[in-house]
Structure 1
Amino acid sequence: MRVIREEGSLRLLVAIVAFFCLCAPASAAVPLSHELCTLGTGSEARISDVLAQSQKFDCSEDKYRFSGAKLWAKIPFRAADLPDGAIEVQGDNNGLTTMEVHSVLDDGSVRSATFSEREVVDSWRPKGHYGLAIPGSDNPEIRNRIETVYVALDRPRVASSLTLLQLASKERWDNLKLPLSAMFALLCGMAIMPFFYNAFFYGALRYSFMLWHSVMIMGTVVYTFSSSGLIFLVFPDTTLTTKFLLNYWTLAICIAASGFFLDRFLEPGKIAKWLRPILLTTAVLPVFVTAYIFQVIEGYDTSIRNYYHASFLPYMAVVLYTMWHAARRGSRAIWFQIAAWTPIIALSLDRIARGMDLYIGIHELDYGLYFALVLETIILAFGVATRIMKLRRNHESTLRKQVELTLLAETDGLTGIGNRRAFEKRFQRNRATREYSHLAILDIDFFKQVNDAYGHEVGDNVLRAVGQTLAQTVHSPARIGGEEFALLIRQEDLDQNGQSPSAIMSRICESLIRVVHESVPEIGQPVTFSAGIAAIPKRASLKSVMATADRRLYDAKNNGRNQIVGFDMSRTPALRGGDTAQA
């Protein structure tokens, strides 16, 4: 466990270092959300048409509520405030197709560049941005003459393609692409490790919450892999629409899985019955909303995404209440959720507010969400391990109690050997193993007289001595009545000694007489025994074999006691010496 904790601490340290590494380049760009203006046009509109109606650009707070197949953004270009070298325009690339970037110089001339969907994909930057070079910015003379930049997006699906617009150094982001991608790959690797722990332990333990946790892990990994842009490194032919769908669906599935995980993970009784259906219903709500967005309206209305982001809010409210509710009920497991989910909920609320265009916010917090998601998988991995160990302890304790109860139920309390129930089980097992070939029923002669003459305490001592002596043999004994004992005679003993079952029982009875005489000296005369023996046919039932042995026991008693009978005397005209023996 110490190794796991040290590994988790190392991961956390790496995540913190990575957070600062990633935030540094992100903050170096120049955001434009407050300065840009927008205009919606038809899909055939050209830059000349847009320049002719530049006065129609909306620079108000409603500028992100546009209509039209093509969206234009007008951006002021202040060369003095920008890094040296070529400049690129960046923004969210979710669901984009073709784009245009135009530079308007101080003399009114225009330099243009049109980018196909494939070129937009190839221009990806870490954290799911595109990076399109501004025409002329790589030439210092032309760059100083650029006054305005126009960006055209065909059928944008998310407003963040505009709200996240920023100007940045192309060279710097080209150089950062590899190390930042490596950092996101490291995050994915850290996040997926608990999945293999779950897969390994689930094969043996079969706890359902491990499956839901695995779904959460894979959702987190796929979301990070897709939204960060790593998907374009591994699968270069991926379209921006595919990335867009993965981002939305994986988050919705993660939320749904987390609700079922929370329900299954906590200790029984820590979530009220009335709260469970509310928790699970709100957990699956984003899945249905996502299906509606993409199946009904095909995801083209940028304002509809507000419904997507809003669908997470009821679940977050219910989760916050559930964590408080379970903590009040004394749940220990819930503290792992509190530690893992509180940062995610806080960062998600900010992300939802920005996704619904309630405010622009700090976009660098998106990096924090990545690390919070990875940290969550690590914390919950500890929680799952702790919960598994507790469940295993409880399971082992239950098994021990079951074994103890079984022993009590199958053990004779006075003699310490098996009772009739245990004897019946051993006989049934013997039908398959054929370990025992004969069954004997042994009875203490005149035991009632012993109790009457010496008291029940002395009688109990006799029973204990008999039970202990029988238990020391290689055969399987049980006490089946007051002074009656049953014995399964092992075939191996017959084979090794070359003796008949009657001879073996005669030897056992002689040993019993001696032990009782030595251990219960209060009894002056010897205590003798009678026994009946029956062979165990292959398919015979216990009832029939015991009936035969019992009948022969009574023959022994009726014939004067202190003897072993291995045949039916009443059905045989003459005695067979090999089947009758004096003890």
Structure 2
Amino acid sequence: MLVIALFVSAEARAQTAIRASCHADGGIAPEQLVSAAQLAAIPWTCGSLDYGSGATRGWLHFLPEDLRAADGATHFVTSISRFDRITLITLAGERVLQRRSYAMDDIRLFVNGANFAIPLPDAGDATSVLVAVERAGSSAMMAEGAVQRATGDKGTLGWSPHMLILLAMLIGLLFAPLIYNYAFYLVLRERFILWHMAMVLGMNAYLLVSSGIIHRFANLGIGALAFLNHMTFLCMVAAGAAFCANFIEPHAISRRMRDLLVGTGVATLIFGTWASLPIEATRDLGNKLYLVGFLPIIALFLAVMWQAARRRSRAVWFQIYGWAPIIALGLERIVRSFGLYAVPHWGDQLIYLTLAFEIVLAALGVVDRFEVLRRDRDKAEARIDSLASLVDRDALTGMFNRRALEARYPDLRADGYTALAVIDLDHFKRVNDQYGHAMGDRVLQETAAALSSDPDTISFRLGGEEFLMLMRGPDIVERAERMRRAISIRIVNEIDGIDAPITASLGLVDTTPGVATTLRRVYAHADRLLYEAKNSGRNRMLSERIQLFDAPVRRRKSERRAGERRAAGVGG
């Protein structure tokens, strides 16, 4: 994209376009000029780039050497802006050969770039050409005015056709950020992504109008084109302000500064729209009023970036590097709007390089910010999962608790955990009474460790000395008995100071796989077996395999009777 923008600047005006050697601000009216002797009544300035305001009347004088350099110029070409009237006068020595005047509505030839062209009077004997512009809307009309020769067709006038192709490619490439921004927004619904899309759309619209590509699709007049040129740039700047306010991290800009930036962007849009309207009261100010309206938003951009940089914002540096060339070029254009100097044709096309650079930086910033926000979101989700895990875990043993059991039982049963065992430590109260609660806690922890040794078993602590196991796989009864015995062995091996062995009783129920049932129903069977084991002398396991059936579907009485008649051989 940047390479294309560099070519755009280099190819801005490849055709020979010759500017006037002399210009004037003010002087007699063009209809009063009847001979070359009257040129002395016009305050000419030659060899200077100070074009003045040209607000009332501006003159351009193409001398014989200018016409020779233009090599048979056929058209006068200048930038699109409002005006009252343009008069072209050809001179042959002291004599006026031809005079033609054009109002805005008479202009029909729009050429490459934000330019229009007027055919020069056909006068082979002409030694010089005068151009008078009444109430030019911009000093650029005088500074950019040039004579140029059309070669082949009118498509060679204005900017180079190669440059126009490059600009069209640049517009096409600018649609890429829209595509990936849309993809980003589907994943991370952040407002700054939408504002970046709006900014890119505004930039595309500005390129479409200012490059002259719009002439290929729409037949608009000078007034409409000048207004669109201003409005598309205004929309881009307003969207850029909102993007900046939402893009930079919340801690890096105060809420007041953020609101002020967005509000100033809207105010710039409103003021610029008003300044672009053909209002008679502001006509003499021309384009200067529109350009000066950008000063507040430029100042606020700088203030926001300064504040964010001081607060160690990461995102703001993408904005600083992206907007700095645009701001510098904008300030230069504001100064130049007063007609103090002119720049080569490629100087105005630098805006495309700066816009492409800003889009590249902003796109990189969006990707970077997306990654930062995604990492922050993943960390937040991990913290939530961790907190949820803490809620589902027993603080003493680290095992899942009753809450986790109730929440996960349907899924675990569907995964094959069809056996349920309830374990209770025998005479655990004596442990607390004889050795203290600290020792009792150690016993519970070692019990949990013994019950967690089987890979196809998930263990839960229900409360106190009562535990529950969900089991799957082969040899469930043998594995459950092995873990029950392991409790006593582990406690003896791991805990010093306990004289008598600590045993456990266990009730195990193995149920039919693939049949829906409830935790309460299966637990009731296992709990009954546990207490039968307790009543049978403790330190033992009782198990049972129960056959579960899906609940029968109740049929309506009429359907049941029909079935009975069919069974009895009676037609129904």
Q: Does structure 2 conserve the Cα–Cα contact (< 8 Å) formed by 1:513 and 1:526?
A: no
| Number of the residue aligned with 1:7 | none
Q: Find the counterpart in structure 1 of residue 428 from structure 2.
A: 447
Distance 1:224 1:558, change over 3 A: same
CA distance in 1, matches of 2:525, 2:43: 105
Residue 212 of structure 1 is matched in structure 2 by: 195
Is 1:530–1:564's contact at 8 Å kept on the other side of the alignment? Answer: yes
Residue among 38, 61, 78 paired with 1:76: 61
The aligned residue for residue 554 of structure 2 is none
Q: Does the C-alpha gap of structure 1 residues 158 and 202 become closer, same or farther in structure 2, counting only changes over 3 Å?
A: same
Gaps of 5+ in 2: 46-50, 494-498, 547-572
Deviation at 1:348, TM superposition (A): 0.3
Contact preservation (8 Å) 1:89, 1:165: yes
Does the aligned pair in 1 maintain the 2:425–2:465 contact within 8 Å?
Answer: yes
Between 295-304 and 367-376, the greater mean CA deviation after superposition: 295-304
Q: Does 1:265 align with 2:244?
A: no
Structure ranking higher on relative contact order (CA contacts 8 Å, 6+ apart): 2
Q: 2:109 aligns with which of 107, 119, 122?
A: 122
Q: Does the aligned pair in 1 maintain the 2:88–2:131 contact within 8 Å?
A: yes
1:288 to 263, 270, 276: 270
Q: Say whether residues 1:277 and 2:243 are aligned partners.
A: no
In 2 relative to 1, CA 544–354 (structure 1 residues): closer, same or farther, beyond 3 Å? farther
Using the TM superposition, give the Cα deviation of residue 165 of structure 1 relative to its aligned residue in structure 2, in angstroms.
2.2
Q: Which residue of 1 aligns with 2:561?
A: none
* Per-residue deviation, 1:410: 2.2
Name the stretch that deviates more: 390-399 or 339-348.
390-399
Partner of residue 24 from structure 2, selected from 8, 12, 35: 35
Alignment-derived partner of residue 425 in structure 1: 407
Distance 1:377 1:508, change over 3 A: same
**CA-CA distance at 1:157 after TM superposition:** 5.0
Structure 1 contact 316–345 (Cα < 8 Å) conserved:
yes
Cα contact 1:102–1:110 (8 A) shared by 2: yes
AA in 1 matched with 2:385: V
The residue that corresponds to 1:200 in the other structure is 183
- The whole-number CA distance in structure 1 between the counterparts of 2:206 and 2:94 is 46
Q: Could you tell me whether the CA contact under 8 Å between 1:443 and 1:485 is conserved in 2?
A: yes
Confirm whether residue 376 of structure 1 aligns to residue 358 of structure 2: yes
Is the CA contact 1:444–1:483 (under 8 Å) kept in the aligned structure 2?
A: yes
CA 381–556 in structure 1, closer or farther in 2 if over 3 Å, else same: same
Deviates further, 363-372 or 29-38: 29-38
Residue in structure 1 matched with residue 553 of structure 2 by the alignment: none
What TM-score do you get using the length of structure 2 for normalisation? Answer: 0.76
Matched, 1:513 2:498: no
Give the length in aligned residue pairs: 525
Q: Tell me which residue corresponds to 1:500.
A: none
Separation (CA, whole Å) in 2 of partners of 1:36 and 1:85: 27
Q: Does the 8 A contact of 2:25 with 2:54 survive in 1? A: no
Q: What's the CA shift string for 1:35-57, capped at 9, x where partnerless? A: 364778xxxxxx75775999997
Q: Aligned equivalents of 1:516 and 1:298: distance in 2?
A: 97
Aligned to 1:574: none
Judged with a 3 Å threshold, the aligned counterparts in structure 2 of structure 1 residues 547 and 58 are, in CA distance, closer, same or farther, namely farther
Letter in 2 for 1:92: S
Contact in 1 for aligned 2:446/2:491 (Cα 8 Å): no
| Offset of residue 342 of structure 1 | 1.2
2:85–2:104 Cα contact (<8 Å) kept: yes
Report if the CA contact (8 A) 1:416-1:467 is conserved. Answer: no
Distance 1:116 1:538, change over 3 A: farther
Q: Residues 520 and 471 (structure 1 numbering): CA distance in 2 closer, same or farther, change over 3 Å?
A: closer
Relative to structure 1, is the Cα distance of residues 405 and 90 closer, same or farther in structure 2, using a 3 angstrom cutoff?
same
* Secondary structure of the structure 2 residue equivalent to 1:90: strand
- When structure 1 is superposed on structure 2, of 308-317 and 389-398 the one drifting more is 389-398
Once the two structures are TM-superposed, the CA of residue 344 in structure 1 deviates from its matched residue by 0.8
Once the two structures are TM-superposed, the CA of residue 346 in structure 1 deviates from its matched residue by 1.0
The one-letter amino acid paired with 1:391 is L
**Residues 340 and 375 of structure 1 are in contact (CA less than 8 Å); yes or no, is this contact kept in structure 2?**
yes
Report the CA distance between 1:353 and its aligned residue: 2.9
Q: Which of 12, 20, 45 is matched with 1:22 structurally?
A: 12
Which amino acid in the other structure matches residue 270 of structure 1? A
Q: Which amino acid aligns with 1:29?
A: I
Return the alpha-carbon distance in structure 2 between the equivalents of residues 435 and 31 of structure 1: 91
Q: Find the residue that maps to 2:312 and give its secondary structure.
A: coil
Q: 1:174, 1:459 → 2: CA distance?
A: 92
Cα drift, residue 245 of structure 1: 2.9
Answer with 321-330 or 110-119: which moved more. 110-119
Deviation at 1:384, TM superposition (A): 2.0
Contact 2:59–2:133 under 8 Å retained in 1: no
In structure 2, the residue corresponding to 1:343 is in which secondary structure? helix
Distance 2:27 2:486 in 1: 107
Partner of residue 89, structure 1: 76
SS at match of 2:250: coil
Q: Which of residues 171, 177, 180 is equivalent to 2:163?
A: 180
Query: What is the CA RMSD across the aligned residues, in angstroms?
Result: 4.2
Match of 1:393 among 355, 371, 375: 375
- Distance in 2, matches of 1:231 and 1:413, equals 70
Match of 1:6 in 2: none
Structure 1 residues 520 and 298, CA gap change in structure 2 (3 angstroms): farther
TM-score for the superposition, normalised by structure 1: 0.75
The question of whether the paired residues in 1 share the 8 Å contact of 2:112 and 2:161 is answered with: no
Please report how far the alpha carbon of residue 419 of structure 1 lies from its aligned counterpart in structure 2 after TM superposition: 1.9
Aligned positions of 1:462-477 closer than 5 A: 463-470=445-452, 472=454, 474-477=456-459
More off after superposition, 406-415 vs 549-558 = 549-558
When structure 1 is superposed on structure 2, of 366-375 and 196-205 the one drifting more is 196-205
Instruction: For residue 271 of structure 1, report the CA deviation from its aligned partner.
Output: 0.7
Q: Does the CA-based 8 Å contact 2:419-2:508 persist in structure 1?
A: no
Contact 1:188-1:225 within 8 A present in 2 as well: yes
Q: 1:245-272 CA deviation, whole Å, 9 max, x = no partner?
A: 3211111111111111111111221112
Partner Cα distance (1:374, 1:515) in 2:
72
Is the Cα–Cα contact under 8 Å of residues 33 and 163 in structure 1 kept in the other structure? no
Work out the CA distance in 2 between the residues paired with 1:175 and 1:350: 23
Q: Write out per-residue CA displacement over residues 345-379 of structure 1, whole angstroms, 9 at most, x where no aligned residue.
A: 11101212334x36344264322222111111112
Greater shift, 390-399 or 248-257, is seen at: 390-399
Hey, what's the Cα distance between the residues in 1 that align with 2:287 and 2:538?
A: 96
Look up the SS of the partner of 1:417 in the other structure.
coil
Deviation at 1:228, TM superposition (A): 1.6
Correspondences of 1:44-123 after superposition (within 5 Å): 64-66=54-56, 74-82=59-67, 83=69, 84-94=71-81, 101-106=88-93, 108-112=95-99, 120-123=107-110
Answering whether residue 323 of structure 2 is matched by residue 352 of structure 1, we say: no
Q: CA deviation at 1:453?
A: 5.7
* Counterpart position of 2:559: none
Q: Which residue of 2 aligns with 1:8?
A: none
Amino acid at match of 1:195: L
Q: Does structure 2 conserve the Cα–Cα contact (< 8 Å) formed by 1:96 and 1:240?
A: no
Cα displacement (A) at 1:18: 4.2
Deviates more, 1:456-465 or 1:51-60: 51-60
The Cα shift of 1:87 comes to: 4.5
CA distance in 2, matches of 1:383, 1:177: 33
Partner of 1:486: 468
| Cα separation, partners in 2 of 1:296 and 1:135, compared to 1, 3 Å | closer
Q: Distance in 1 between matches of 2:99 and 2:63?
A: 18
Alignment partner of 1:136 is 2:122: yes
Q: Please state whether the residue corresponding to 2:76 is helix, strand or coil.
A: strand
- Structure 1 pair 353/533, CA: closer, same or farther in 2 (3 Å)? same
State the one-letter code of the partner of 2:126. R
Cα pair distance change 1:465/1:539, threshold 3 Å: closer
Alpha-carbon distance change, 288 to 554 in structure 1, aligned in 2, over 3 angstroms: farther
Is contact 1:418-1:479 (8 Å) kept?
yes
Letter in 2 for 1:320: L
Question: How far apart, CA to CA, are the structure 1 residues paired with 2:82 and 2:53?
Answer: 20
